[in-house]
Every structure is written in C-alpha cells, then in structure tokens.
Amino acid sequence: MDWTEKLGGLCYGGDYNPEQWPETVWEEDVALMRRAGVTLVSLGVFSWSRLEPAEGVHDFGWLDRVMDLLHSGGVKVNLATPTASPPPWFSLAHPDALTVTADGARLTHGSRDTYCVAAPAYRAASVRIARALAERYAGHPALAMWHVHNEYGTWCHCDHVAAAFRAWLRERYGTLEALNDAWTGAFWSQLYSAWEQVMPPRATQYLPNPSQTLDFRRFLSDEMLAHFREQKAVLRELTPDVPVTTNFVFGDWVPVNQWDWAKEVDLVAIDHYPSQNPPEETALAADLARGWAGGRPWLLMEQAVVTYTGPRMAAKRPGEITRLSLSHIARGSHGAMFFQWRASRGGAELWHGGMVPHAGPDSRIFQEIRDLGALLPALAEACREPVEATAAIVFDPESGWALGSPGLPSTEVPYLEAVRQAHRVLYRHGVTADFVHPTADLSAYDLVIVPSLYLTSDEAAANLRGHAERGGRLVVSFLSGIADEHARVRTGGYPGALRDLLGVRVEEFLPIGEPVTLDTGDRATLWTEHVHLAGAEALARYPDGTPAVTRRGTAVYVSTRLPDDAYARLLGLGPETPVESVRRGEWVFAINHGSLEQEIPGNLLLPPGGYAVARVPR
C-alpha cells in the first residue's frame, strides 16, 4: 500500500485531543491549524472513556463534529483506536485484565496502559471498539490513516500471560524436552515435567534464567503484535484502502522487535524524544526507522516542543524544532508530527508542551511551528529520492535483550551504547548509515559494523562471512558471536560463531574498571579480552602485548571499547563536521548544528543553526 500517495505531501501536525477542551476551543484550534499549515492530526488516541462511557454505550457525536470540523478545515485525520488506555469501568468490570507486576502486585487504573495484553476481556473489548470506530468512520472524507493503539510496550506477569506464554513456547519448541534443552533447565534444577510448570519470569529468589527472560521478551513482542493484528484485520475489512500503523517507541525496556513489526504495519511510524544530545539521537532514531521501513518512507509520529533531559523538561531552543524535524525528514520521514497540538492544562503530562503552548499562539514556539509548516511543502520533491548510505550497522534488539540479563560478565556494557557509538562516530564524520538486520542483504554496503551481536545465529554468521568474502569491510566489536538463539554460549573460544571469520580465538573476558592504554596510544575502556591470533594480524595491542584490535582480510575485530577518535581512525573516516548532511539523489539536506558558519557542497554557506535543502549534482 503506497500510503504516501494517499496522504499527498509531507505530513504535518500532531496528536489532537479535543476531548480535553470545551467545544468553544475547537474552532480556534482548526483556525490555528490552518495558520500553521497542519495537514494531519492523530485523533482520539486516549478517548476510549469518552467514546464508550459505559460498557457498550457509545458517544460518537462529539467525534463526528471534530471529524467534520477538521475536514472542513482541510486537515486529514489519523484516527486512533483508543486501546492504549481502557476506561475505568473496564478495569472495574474485568479486574483480571489489569497488569500484574513480576512480584505479583496488581496495578490499578489511573494512568495509561494499565491492562494485560493477553487478557481475553481486553482483547475482545479492543476489537469491539476498533470495529465500532471503523463502522462509524468508514468513508468519512477526513479519515486518512489508522493509528492503532499507542506506543506498544507493556509488560504483565499474570495468569493470562502465563497461559499465553506457554502456548507460545509450545508453538516454538514443540516438546518440553526441547524447551528444557534450549533453556538449560538442568541448571538449578529447573527441568519441567509438565507445561503448567512453565511460568513467566516472576519474582524469584535469586538470578533468573536468561533464556527464559529472553523468550519472555520475544513472547511479549509477539503477543502485542497479535493484539495489533486483530485490530488491523477489522480495520482492513471495513476500510480496505486506509493505511494502518502504530507508533513505535525505542529503548532497552521495550519488549518489541521492530523488525518483525515492520512487516505488519502499512507504514513504519516512530515517536522520538531525544534527551542528552538531540541531533545525534535524532539521526539515530531516524536511521533506525528507515532501516525498519526497508529504506521506504516512514513517519515521525511524535516529537515534542520540549526536551526531557533526565530530571528536567525545557523548551527547545530557537530553531531546534526546525532543525530536528528537518533531520528526520532528510533521513526519510514523510513529515513531522508532534505530541501534541495544544498543551494540556491538566492530567499527567500537562508539562509535555504542545504546538500551541500554555502561553498560547502569541509565542515563539507557535511562530516556529508556523514557519516550519510553511517550509515543508518545498521539501516534497527532494523527499521522492531515496536516502543514500554506503555504511550499515547491524541492529538486533534480541541481542540487546540478552545482554541486559542479570549475570553477564559486566553490567556496564549496555548494547544500545555500543550501537550508539558506532552510529555516532559515523554521524560526526559525515557518513550516513543504514541499520540492517543481521540476516539482511549486505551487498549494497562498503562497510558493515557489527556492535556486540551477542546472539548470532548460524544464518547471521554466514551472512556476515559472505560480506567479508565479497571484499566488503566488516568491523565486529566484542560480545559478538557469543551465543546461539537461546542465549547459550558457543563453546571452544570466543567470539564463537565469528571465530573463523575473524581469525581470532578469545580465551577469557577481562572487563575493566580503569582504562588501559593500547600501543597505539588510545585509551581503551570497559572491556578487554585475552585474544589469540588464529589467522588474523594485530592492529593494536594491550599493555601486555596481546592483541586488542585485529584484522583478517577485510574483517576487523575490536576486543575493547575504543574512544570515538580511535574508532573513527579504524574506520578510515574523514574529519569531524558539525554539519549534518544527507544526500538523496541530486538533493542534499544540510543542517549546521555548530556555532560557526560552515561551507557545504554547492559552495553554500550555512550560518550557525542554519540549514539548506539544495540540488547539488554529483
């Protein structure tokens, strides 16, 4: 389904929650949307308790009026199924459908996402409200897209989950023998003799089983995906031409494998809230989204006018909203959407900001929103070209989950940090990278980086080997190749599945607290290894003379954490630049994130904070 065609030009707008405001505000909203150039709003994301105030009692009148009003204002609607927050009456009627924590506490409504995705009552109610919405608004001229649920990512450990987990495991393993083997059940006497003995990883006395924990995250991803697919089926049945999506969130805690989900959505959409270094985090998120979308356009569904930085939430600085939105678009987003249109007066996220801030339209924020809205139509032509990248970074959420298990040799080596470093180094040196699945076709890339691919299937190992054998450059970092798909160590020497390819054999892991200085003068941190050469040559050595970085043919192995500059040198990158630059055919998107004027291709000069989208033939 070519959803970009249906939606026309780049999407611009945000979550619209008119139910929080009196109707008198709605007319002003639509007028302001027109001023701002808004083309699309996500409507009704959290409106279930308004749409269905009691079981089976629907109140669509207000939504009819909003839909009509938006249509009359030329604004299209990305209509949500509101299943991310069931109404209070639902929780009361179905206490078994409330979330249970790992230590057995049953949560209460009062926030969002307080449901068990495996609870039959919740599943049924979700499909019912989705059907009711689709029946009501099928054919409505404003309806342009379906926004199923919101930010899938909840955990539950209740008995419904236990039953569903067992069914998922039976499907995956067939027999208890296979499960016991995959999970190494013999360790600590955890062999199962009947399926009902299998549990979600609930609170237990000491360390949990890492294979069980990994499979539980896989199960949660699949179970939530089943919930999505049930709604999608209803929506497709009743509105076959309307694209269906949901908005992905990203982070260690999210039990969602976006590679799998990307196959089920009509378009990949993401929410993105950068914190410490917004430009770098934006490029990372956008490149991931493009990877999940297989290089096709995707959509930035949510961003904010404020930045959360740990303990603080501050308004974005002048120009920042524009620059970050452009970065997303340059990297493949078919527009720029926000949470939310109008900042809430109350509720849990009243300080989250909005395109219309608390201060109202007479504000710098809204002025910048208007300017950005006016700019977007001019970008449509450039956006028709594909984003170009010659480097790829292998991304595998399951490796991240497995590396997050208790009991690993170091608690200080998070997966996403390894991925971020690879991306950051390329980004700062002006190289655009794609993210790819470990088994993806790599033939288009000169350089493939493999950060800490802890779980490496035989298929992935063969894929990487093929790349190197074709002469492609491969840079593999420590904690790759270690385990099979069940998180069982591949014995005989690390890095297991990649040992032959890399020409090394690692005897021991030696994570460190204090840095060590390599013979190259670089200070390595966090992790070292006892590496033997077995076909490779040493590019850098530890103080004791053993190899730290090695090369066999075009395949490089990095057994420690290098500082960014050494990493860049290893990759043979050019100088750092504060200009983010993305090429799409003859078009170049350039954004100057620095504090000095910069020259960019085409002999253009970009002032600090400036940007350009220019046709620069190669």
Would residue 515 be called left, alpha or beta, if left means φ above 0 and alpha means ψ between -120 and 50 degrees? beta
Spot the catalytic one: 52, 223, 280, 302: 302
- Is the alpha carbon torsion for 577, 580, 585, 586 positive or negative? negative
Closest CB 157 distance from its own copies, rounded Å: 9
**297 alpha carbon, distance to own chain's centre:** 15
Of the pair 39, 154, the CB lying nearest its own copies is at 154
68 token code pair: 């009509």
151 is catalytic: yes
Of 132, 129, 13, 122, residue with least CA distance to 77: 13
353 token code pair: 């900001």
DSSP assignment of 475-536, as one string?
A: EEESS-S-B-TTS-B--SSBTGGGHHHHTEEEEEEEE-SS-EE-TTS-EEBSEEEEEEESS-
Closest CB 110 distance from its own copies, rounded Å: 4
Spot the catalytic one: 151, 368, 485, 580: 151
Of the pair 311, 575, the CB lying nearest its own copies is at 311
135 is catalytic: no
CB–CB of 516/543 below 8 Å? yes
Of 55, 239, 233, residue with least CA distance to 142: 239
Of the pair 46, 294, the CB lying nearest its own copies is at 46
| Half-sphere exposure at residue 102, Cβ-oriented, CA atoms within 13 angstroms | 11
Closest CB 598 distance from its own copies, rounded Å: 23
Closest CB 297 distance from its own copies, rounded Å: 30
Burial of 170 (0-12, 13-18, 19+ CB in 10 A): middle
125 token code pair: 């109610």
Of 479, 485, 483, residue with least CA distance to 509: 479
CB–CB of 419/393 below 8 Å? yes
Closest CB 397 distance from its own copies, rounded Å: 20
Of the pair 195, 577, the CB lying nearest its own copies is at 195
User: What is the helix (H) or strand (E) element at residue 394, kind and residue range?
Assistant: strand 391-394
Of the pair 138, 512, the CB lying nearest its own copies is at 512
Of the pair 31, 314, the CB lying nearest its own copies is at 314
DSSP assignment of 1-24, as one string?
A: --HHHHH-S-EEEEEE-GGGS-HH
Closest CB 504 distance from its own copies, rounded Å: 12
CB–CB of 466/474 below 8 Å? no
Q: How far is CA 561 from CA 56, 71, 125, 425, 556, in A?
A: 57, 54, 49, 13, 14
Closest CB 203 distance from its own copies, rounded Å: 5
Q: Which amino acid is at 371?
A: D
Of the pair 56, 572, the CB lying nearest its own copies is at 56
- Other CB atoms within 10 Å distance of the CB of residue 54: 12
**77 alpha carbon, distance to own chain's centre:** 24
Task: Measure the CA–CA gap between 110 and 103, rounded to whole angstroms.
Answer: 20
Closest CB 582 distance from its own copies, rounded Å: 30
Closest CB 420 distance from its own copies, rounded Å: 19
Return phi, psi of residue 355, to 5°. -60, -35
Of the pair 8, 347, the CB lying nearest its own copies is at 347
Of the pair 263, 312, the CB lying nearest its own copies is at 312
**393 alpha carbon, distance to own chain's centre:** 15
Of the pair 434, 485, the CB lying nearest its own copies is at 485
Closest CB 469 distance from its own copies, rounded Å: 26
Give the catalytic positions in this structure.
151, 302
